[in-house]
Amino acid sequence: MIAPGIEPVASDNLYHPDRSKVVVTAGVTAHAVQVHHRDIPELQAHGETPHSAAVVLEQGFAREMDGLIDQCRREPFQRALADIREFLTPTR
């Protein structure tokens, strides 16, 4: 599920999203969790559930990418965003 208003990331055939790169830890309160991407830990999000926090993280990565002009700098964010979206996809 992609958050409303966020464009899908163009995927290349060489990269396969990895949901295990999304790290979930305890939040600042007993009823919250914090998530971040293993490769870019400085961007974090909080929520009541791992899913809700990951949606906020997805939105944060999309905003960060808006300011990146250079494709070399965008690529790690695109891959992280693909991983986050894989994390948000229900497993079968």
Domain ranges of the chain: 19-88
- Dihedral sign, Cα of residue 60, residue 63, residue 64, residue 70: positive
CATH 1.10.3470 fits 19-88, yes or no: no
pLDDT on residue 17: 92
Q: Phi, psi at residue 36, to the nearest 5°?
A: -155, 165
- pLDDT reported for residue 91: 79
Query: Quick one: pLDDT at residue 49?
Result: 95
What is the reported pLDDT for 25? Answer: 95
One digit per residue, the tens of pLDDT, for the chain of length 92 reads: 455 544 455 545 578 899 999 999 998 888 899 999 999 999 999 999 999 999 999 999 999 988 888 888 899 999 999 999 999 998 76
